[in-house]
Chain A
Amino acid sequence: MPTFEVNDHKYEVDEDGFLQEPGIWNETVASDFATTEGVTDLTEAHWKVIHYLRNYYLQFGIAPMIRKVCKETGFKLNEIYQLFPSGPAKGACKLAGLPKPTGCV
């Protein structure tokens, strides 16, 4: 199992760098993972998306569809890409400590 080390923290991750144990997530985890996804500064807007994803995941056990993310957070899709340059699935979900979203290629 690969590990990801940053700021003296050590995390078990999968091959794409997603947190293996979603249960250990906290806001420090999000800040630690931000460095790998091209996010330099976590603003209020970032947290809004991260907390929404996190809460949805805790309630339903999966990541929400992208349309729901936009509707509930009030951000347009291109604004989400400005916040998380690697995108909602790879970037935002990783920071929110969700397991790797599945989907069709």
Chain B
Amino acid sequence: MAEQNGKSKTKLLDELEKGPWPSFVREIKKTSDVSPTCDDLLGQLELSYEERKGHWKHGGIVGVMGYGGGVIGRYSDVPEQFPKVAHFHTMRVNQPSGWFYTSDALRTLCGIWERHGSGLTNMHGSTGDIVFLGTKTDELEPTFAELTKAGFDLGGSGSCVRTPSACVGPARCEHACYDTLKLCNDLTHAYQDELHRPPFPYKFKFKCAGCPNDCVAAVARADLSIIGIWKDEIQQDDAAVAEYAAKGLDIQKNVCEQCPSKCMNWDGKKLTIENKDCVRCMHCINAMPKALRPGKERGAAILIGSKAPIVQGALLSSVLIPFVPEAELMETLKELVSRIWEFWDEYGKNRERVGELIQRVGMANFLDAIGLDPAPEMVTAPRDNPYIFFREEAAK
């Protein structure tokens, strides 16, 4: 496809096929037998690389009836040269919790997209959605009709609740401190209006991670991160610890000395953990999963304010509620989220994420507005981060 008179038409892009790692150029070329748009797509990208200039126009507005999001309009600014990608809209499809599919479901999705679009997909976008790449305006409604018939729905785009996502949680992982899959599903259903009809100053993302390993990167990318955590002591199996030691694991060097709060001690026979100093970093549990497990009193910490860089720089989440038992999670979130949205809606500037708003007004004012008391867990270490001033009487 990419050759003419024996010469490749995509000289610069071909460089990206070299090396042992995955290559989107190779993947797109491989799809060219089912997807007739591939050569124009790569052709336009090659032109962009040559000219060091993007050739997608910004901000098309297309969509399906009843929804204000889920479709991202893309138009080429060189349609005469690459007519097959003159329209190349993206559709976001709400992924199942934890990205579990039957092969039937995947075939159905691919079938729909080969009939109505380019056949190219991105599994998955960074928010978590299934991303259908490239179609024309006329195909949007038929695609949507087929998707809903097959039990799928569009995801979020624009200034809305973006499609919530969750790690695989208790379905495959022994560290999960709450049912991330259920919470993700419940959130998706609870906020259908806000997901499909953008009401906010900017996007709002929920991510549910089952433990502090945070496999969905909630702490870095979600406006509201729900991260599994335990309140009591790490469950310890001494026999299994000894087994790790016998098999050659240097517990002192690779476990105790790696502990950020130095709360562990290994005397060559017994491991003791000072649980009150544990910061829940997961390192020891990851190093000896058969010997150590999260405690029994499980739930989640709720954090606020992270984002990837777009309008302004990246932010990490701050703790908002240090621990919520699993049974109370959904109820707590609903109340909390309505207060956060009310404040953000009222005071947020256009395209200002909630984390940026908190930076602008100050965490103390934000907490005051949503009716939460400051707690020591909200700062890394005492006097380390002075964004909250405790009054003298409260400090005693």
* Chain B residue contacts of A88, Cβ below 8 A: 68
Q: Does B289 reach chain A (CB closer than 8 Å)?
A: no
A45 to chain B, nearest CB (A): 17
B248 at interface by CB-CB < 8 Å = no
Could you list which residues of chain A lie within 8 angstroms of chain B, going by C-beta atoms? 15-16, 18, 38, 65-67, 70, 77-78, 81, 85-90, 100-105
Q: Closest 6 interchain pairs by CB?
A: A87-B68, A105-B72, A85-B65, A90-B61, A16-B61, A102-B59
Assuming A66-B198, A77-B193, A104-B202, is B60 touching A16 (CB within 8 A)?
Answer: yes
List the interface of chain B (C-beta within 8 A of A): 57-63, 65-68, 72-73, 75, 87, 90, 157-159, 193, 197-203, 310-311, 345, 350-351
The residue among B62, B65, B345 with the most chain A CB atoms within 10 A of its own CB is B65
- Residue contacts A-B, CB under 8 angstroms, 10 given: A15-B75, A16-B61, A67-B345, A77-B197, A81-B68, A85-B66, A86-B65, A89-B68, A90-B61, A104-B158
Q: Which B residues are CB-close (under 8 A) to A65? A: 201, 350
Residues of A within 8 A of B350 (CB): 65
Give chain A's interface secondary structure class.
Answer: loop
Q: Are B66 and A90 in contact (CB under 8 A)?
A: no
Smallest Cβ-Cβ distance to B73: which chain A residue: A16
Q: Which of A67, A100, A101, A102 lies at the interface centre, i.e. has the most chain B CB atoms within 10 A of its CB? A: A67
Nearest B-chain residue to A90, judged by Cβ: B61
B72 surroundings in chain A (CB, below 8 A): 105
Whole-angstrom distance between the alpha carbons of A70 and B198 in the complex? 12
Would A87 and B67 count as touching, CB distance under 8 A? yes
A81 touches B66 (CB 8 A): yes
- Chain A's nearest CB lies how many Å from the CB of B311? 8
Residue from B57, B61, B75 with most neighbouring chain A CB atoms (10 Å): B61
Query: Which residue, A15, A18, A77, A81, has most C-beta atoms of chain B within 10 A?
Result: A15
Residues of B within 8 A of A15 (CB): 57, 60, 75, 87
Question: Contact between A104 and B199 (Cβ–Cβ < 8 Å)?
Answer: no
